[in-house]
Amino acid sequence: MARGFLIGILLLAALAAGAIFLGPMLIPAQVYKTEIAKAVEKATGRPFVIAGAVRLAVFPNIKAVVEKSSLGNVEGGKAPQMAEIGRLSVGLKLWPLLTRHFEITNFTLEDASIHLEVDQNGKPNWQFAKPQSTDENKEAGADAAREIKDLNFGDVRLTNGSVSFVNLKTGTNYELSQIAAKISLPNLDAPLKLTGSAFYKGEKLDLTASLAKARVAFAGGSSAFAADIKSALLNGGFDGNATFGENLSLDGATQLSSPSVRKLAHWLGKPISGNTGFGPLNIAGKMHFSAKQIAFEDAKLNFDAISANGHLKADMSGALPHVTGALASQRLDLRPYTGVGKAANSPQADGATPPEWSTQAIDASPLKSFTADIDLAAEEILLRDVTIGKTNAAVTVHDGVLAADLKEMRLYEGLAKGRVTIANRPGGAALNSQITLAALNLEPFMKDAAKTNRFEGLGTFEINLNGAGRSQRDLISSLAGTAKILFKNGAIKGIDLGRIAALYEQLTGKTLGGDKADSSSTEGQGTGDETKFVEMGSSFAVQQGIMRTGDFHMINNVISLSGEGAIDLVHQTIDFRLD
């Protein structure tokens, strides 16, 4: 009897083994296809089609191969399919499953294409219909997740993949091609490592990433995390901690660099005009990232010849991102971005023709996409050919208007204060400036700003101007408002009006300017001649970029002159008549 029972047990074991070996061969492949398609469609709400072969083996290890499968796109989507997979191969060791250990021998995804889209209403195609779920099902799923005791990856890789993104609302589109990736995870308590590469617009991107505590991360906890991206035009890295789960957050050191911002912008489809500036860039600091906030502490910026440091924070919890922070720079060289200006320490010819105003279109529309409150400080600012000294300003952006409140601006020994605003307008920008400047040293300022060394003295300026236009030239052409200029205790070099007055008196017997001139010399004018003055100035009415005055005056101990005329800011010319 015992022998018969033993034989019965052996027969049952043989039948079970036969079922394991022969089951996949006896069940038609179409059954697998149908059941897999139903399961995916139920989970996503999209049609899932397997057009190729399906192969399944369960002993000694589980192995499945699915060829030529696709997941449908949303109705009205640009691409007919959201995802297409050339070949999916999965291998899983059978016996470790009995102890709830998942050992994946291989997971290979070949020739996969994913098409991400955002429709005209801003809805993404990766939002799937939610399947019906009961509390019982949710609890069963949670229990199943907790029952996994270990997980390790053998050969896990992606080859020749592609991902495209199209935003039909904004018109933007991107595509990554030739995507390749490999994942290493010996077990859940070992580090997870990823290496991969992809091509974007002909440039190769190499990516590496590591996660110190895979088990903790998969459970929604925090783990040390590092990632690096390298390419010919863009390099970046992060080294810190990541918190996973519903709300991803990152805290750690980050770095971003490019050998040429100009080439980088061209590669990204945002070419920069001109041929100067926008060279190397390096940004480093401590970053905090979450769904509602990005913050940089101890930030250091090196861009061309500019170096700055400070902190920035972008709060994205409101309708628009709000940027706050403070930046300080020792030397802010803006000359390369204006397309003009002399190189450092280069000579400048007296009377050289100043550069023309740019006709390039001004796009101030980005001012509508965010708000900001930022404090800026610089020890020196180089703009065009003018050197600005210590500067402190508060910059705000609200409702499409950028406002710079000048708390302090040292300009050629003088002090400037005031407020300048630039507002987004259809097809261009609007400018409003209210500035006062006292005790300006006229000689070095005029040498740099107007390419002449013929003026000396201390100047005071009061400027109230506004204008609007599509380009720099249009804006200057539209300027309107008032200006007042007054110079004291100075000189005009290259001309001696006292001698001219004396010569006029000798020839006509009349005095010029109402005072008797000094006739000690009537020699011709030379480069060493000059006319000193106690006071010289005028008030101006500004219209269409032309400053007009009828109260010009100059007073010295020899003569007093009055005059009228105009300064054309557009063509940068002066037309005056003296009486």
What does the CA dihedral 82, 87, 88, 91 come to, rounded to 10 degrees?
A: 180
Report the candidate in 44, 40, 74 with the shortest Cα–Cα distance to residue 54: 40
Strands 428-441 and 560-568: unpaired
- Tokens for 161, please give them: 């993949």
Cα distance between residue 196 and residue 181, in whole Å: 4
Please say whether the beta carbons of 490 and 452 come within 8 A.
Answer: no
Q: How large is the average pLDDT for residues 484-494?
A: 91
Cα distance between residue 571 and residue 433, in whole Å: 21
Tens digit of pLDDT for each residue in 173-201?
889 999 999 988 887 788 889 999 999 99
Specify the residue for token string 């006071």. 535
**Cβ neighbourhood burial of 579 (10 Å; 0-12, 13-18, 19+):** exposed
Q: How large is the average pLDDT for residues 417-423?
A: 95
What does the CA dihedral 451, 456, 462, 467 come to, rounded to 10 degrees?
A: -10
Cα distance between residue 344 and residue 335, in whole Å: 10
Q: Between 115 and 220, whose confidence is greater?
A: 115
Q: For Cα atoms 88, 92, 96, give the angle at the middle one, nearest 5 degrees.
A: 165
Q: What is the full DSSP assignment across 359-406? A: -SBP--GGGGS-EEEEEEEES-EEETTEEE-SEEEEEEEETTEEEEEE
pLDDT at 141: 45
pLDDT at 253: 97
Within 8 A by CB and 6+ apart from 464, the residues are 433, 434, 481, 482, 483
Please say whether the beta carbons of 250 and 288 come within 8 A.
Answer: yes
pLDDT band, very low/low/confident/very high, at 150 (cuts 50, 70, 90)? low
pLDDT at 509: 59
Which amino acid is located at 418 in the chain? G
pLDDT at 220: 84
pTM for this predicted structure: 0.71
Residue 373 pLDDT > 70, yes or no? Answer: yes
pLDDT band, very low/low/confident/very high, at 479 (cuts 50, 70, 90)? very high
Report the candidate in 96, 212, 95 with the shortest Cα–Cα distance to residue 151: 96
pLDDT at 428: 86
Residues in the chain, total: 579
- Tokens for 371, please give them: 């708000």
Reduced to 3 states, what is the DSSP secondary structure of residue 214? helix
**Cβ atoms within 10 Å of 461's Cβ, excluding its own:** 19
- Tokens for 268, please give them: 């990204």
Reduced to 3 states, what is the DSSP secondary structure of residue 470? coil
**Cross-strand bridge partners of residue 462:** 436, 484
**Cβ neighbourhood burial of 25 (10 Å; 0-12, 13-18, 19+):** exposed
Q: For Cα atoms 238, 240, 244, give the angle at the middle one, nearest 5 degrees.
A: 100
Cα distance between residue 233 and residue 262, in whole Å: 10
**Cross-strand bridge partners of residue 431:** 422, 467
Specify the residue for token string 């302090």. 408
Expressed in percent and rounded to 5, the helix, strand and coil fractions of the chain are 20, 50, 30
39-43, 81-85, 556-560: range with highest mean pLDDT? 81-85
**Cβ neighbourhood burial of 340 (10 Å; 0-12, 13-18, 19+):** middle
- Tokens for 109, please give them: 């995804």
Cα distance between residue 202 and residue 517, in whole Å: 77
- In whole numbers, what is the pLDDT of the chain averaged over residues? 83
pLDDT band, very low/low/confident/very high, at 510 (cuts 50, 70, 90)? low
Report the candidate in 92, 103, 124, 113 with the shortest Cα–Cα distance to residue 161: 113
Please say whether the beta carbons of 552 and 533 come within 8 A.
Answer: no
Report the candidate in 1, 8, 86 with the shortest Cα–Cα distance to residue 52: 86
Cα distance between residue 22 and residue 183, in whole Å: 33
Helix (H) or strand (E) run with residue 16 in it: helix 2-26
Q: Between 558 and 387, whose confidence is greater?
A: 387
Please say whether the beta carbons of 49 and 37 come within 8 A.
Answer: yes
Backbone angles phi and psi of 400, in degrees to 5: 80, 15
Measured CA distances, 43 to 39, 65, 71, 465, 554 (Å): 6, 20, 12, 64, 87
Q: How large is the average pLDDT for residues 30-57?
A: 82
pLDDT at 503: 62
Residue 205 pLDDT > 90, yes or no? Answer: yes
Specify the residue for token string 């100043």. 354
Strands 203-211 and 560-568: unpaired
Report CA Rg, the chain. 37
Tens digit of pLDDT for each residue in 309-351?
999 999 988 888 999 999 999 998 888 876 544 444 444 444 4
pLDDT at 129: 67
pLDDT at 500: 63
pLDDT band, very low/low/confident/very high, at 59 (cuts 50, 70, 90)? confident
Backbone angles phi and psi of 319, in degrees to 5: -65, -35
